[in-house]
Amino acid sequence: MVIKLIKYIMKGMIFLSFVIGYVSTKMAAIASDGRCCYTDGTIKTEFYNKTRKINNNVIIGYSGSTKACEKILSQLQLALEQIQKNGMREPYVNEVAACIHAIIPMFNFPKEHKVQFIISGISNNKEMQLYTFGNTNQTDFIPLIATEKEIQIAALCSSKSNESGCKIFKNHLINDPFVQHTPIDDIFKASIEEMADLDPTVNRNCFSQVIFPISERKI
């Protein structure tokens, strides 16, 4: 009876799959596919955007349990509204990442409610940074920092290893890692389409967010 109950509860849970993140000194970008599935593989929607622009300094992507991710984002929104109400400046990526990192354990989600985040953008010292963590790796709160010689990437996958998603993304970047000749959206699309051919929880729809440091913004 207990096993049947657990299976019934798990079947009703909704999960998000593939998200990829990129940061260089010239831009921060995050993309996702659009498929949202129940744990038994039934598709709930093909058009779920797993990316969000927080402000001109921060973008995020997320995967895992839809309900858990949305609870965390709702709590983040309350914090951001309070900041705005107090007339404070827009928070930077390191501040938003720290906020999400602090929110996650507040909910004490059961282990089957896996959540993963990529948070990317401009830090308070003007570095272009990328963070990736969730409720299974809360200790990994270390920024990946882009330099003139090195980009940073990350991938989140629910049904396959994150390493597989990273490898696919990296292969599409290999000839143009600093995105000087190929638009980042084209690289995102190619990566997501390849992952969709391998993983039934991923579709070929592509959603993305891109922000630029002040020095690169068009006036």
pLDDT by residue (tens digit) across 157-168? Answer: 865 566 788 999
Instruction: Determine the longest span between alpha carbons in the chain, in angstroms.
Output: 63
For residues 4-23, give the mean pLDDT: 67
- Name the token pair of 195: 């992952």
Provide the pLDDT for residue 112: 79
DSSP 91: P
% of the chain surpassing 90 pLDDT: 70
* CA–CA dist 4, 19 (Å, integer): 32
Q: Is the CB of residue 144 less than 8 Å from the CB of residue 133?
A: no
* CA–CA dist 15, 64 (Å, integer): 5
- Domain extents in the chain: 13-214
Q: If you average pLDDT over every residue of the chain, what do you get?
A: 88
Q: Which residues contact 111 (CB under 8 A, 6 or more apart)?
A: 136
Confidence of residue 88 (pLDDT cuts 50, 70, 90): confident
pLDDT higher at 2 or 140 = 140
CATH superfamily membership of 13-214: Aminohydrolase, N-terminal nucleophile (Ntn) domain (3.60.20.10)
Residue 94 has pLDDT above 70, yes or no: yes
* CA–CA dist 214, 182 (Å, integer): 22
Provide the pLDDT for residue 151: 96
Is the entire prediction scored with pTM above 0.85? yes
Residue 9 has pLDDT above 80, yes or no: no
pLDDT higher at 104 or 7 = 104
Provide the pLDDT for residue 102: 94
Residue 71 has pLDDT above 50, yes or no: yes
Q: Which residues contact 24 (CB under 8 A, 6 or more apart)?
A: 128, 146, 151, 152, 178, 179
| b (16+ CB within 10 A) / e for 193-207 | bbbbeebebbbebbb
